Structure 1
Amino acid sequence: MTEREPFRTRIKVRHYELDTLGHLNHAVYHSYGEVARLELFEQSGALAGLKNLASVLLESHIVFRRELRAGDVVDVTCDAKFGSGKTFSMDSKILKLDGTLAAEITCTLGLMDLERRKLVEDPRGRFAEAGADLKLLSTSEGD
């Protein structure tokens, strides 16, 4: 059995995203992770299928490995990991096209009931009920 690759999206570093040192501003790395999460939710069908529920970011942690500069093109991966309870995690890697790891992001999320303003139980089950492609959302899902 071969290991599946996580979802990925490509982003080009723009000049206005740089800090005074000439490399990508630290906050923009988080934005790139958010772009990958939203693209994954959209492509998996999760956004269209979740009625009165929305993902909410509860925690985000980043480890910076290599600088990114204007004109660099990166792939940003995203992979969900579901457990029990109300939260799940999504891990991202920001990779230069030559495979160099620029940053790693780990996030904790939940699905919020938009009327009750509370997290719901079993986010994986809710995604499944919404018709989301669980294999696209998570490489941990069986073949």
Structure 2
Amino acid sequence: MTEREPFRTRVKVRHYELDTLGHLNHAVYHSYAEVARLELMELAGGLSGGLHEEKLASVMLETHVVFRRELRAGDVVDVTCDTTFGSGKTFHMNSSIVKLDGTLAAEITCTLGLMDLERRKLVDDPRGRFERAGVDIKVLSTAD
């Protein structure tokens, strides 16, 4: 059995995203991870359809970035995203930002929940709720 690769999307560092030191502003790393999370969620069917009908949406609870190497204007990176589920009300969507030469630039870990938009509360078993809403878990997570 071969190990599946996590979802990835390609981003080019733009000049206006730089800080006064000439490297990518710290907040933009989070934005790049958000791009990957949203594209993965869209690919898995989680931005419309069943979740919308069930009045459910994912909500960010915590995000953390570890900076490994600087990124500068013109660098092109692949941003990965993979989802892991455990027990309880939360799940994780983690990203790596990797230069095209394979250099790891940053790691972003995110804790999310699936919110009932009417009750404004997290639901139990987000993995099961995603599945019941028609979200393709095999696209969302390489662990499944």
Q: TM-score, normalised by structure 2?
A: 0.96
Question: Which whole-Å deviations, capped at 9, do the CAs of 1:59-116 have from their partners, x for residues lacking one?
Answer: 0111000000011111100000001110001110000011110000111000111111
Which segments of 5 or more consecutive residues in structure 1 lack a partner in the other structure?
A: none
1:29 matched to which residue of 2? 29
Aligned mate of 2:59, from 56, 59, 81:
56
> Are positions 1:90 and 2:93 aligned together?
yes
Distance 1:50 1:104 in 2: 28
Identity, in percent, stands at 82
The CA RMSD over aligned residues, in Å, is: 0.7
Distance 2:71 2:39 in 1: 21
Q: Which amino acid aligns with 2:46?
A: A
Aligned mate of 2:112, from 109, 116, 121:
109
Q: Which consecutive aligned stretches of 4+ in structure 1 deviate over 4 angstroms post-superposition?
A: none
Distance 2:25 2:40 in 1: 23
Q: TM-score, normalised by structure 1?
A: 0.96
Secondary structure of 1:104's counterpart equals: strand
How many residue pairs align between the two structures?
141
Distance 2:130 2:60 in 1: 16
Distance 2:31 2:121 in 1: 25
The offset of 1:131, in angstroms, is 1.1
> Are positions 1:130 and 2:133 aligned together?
yes
Distance 1:44 1:102 in 2: 26
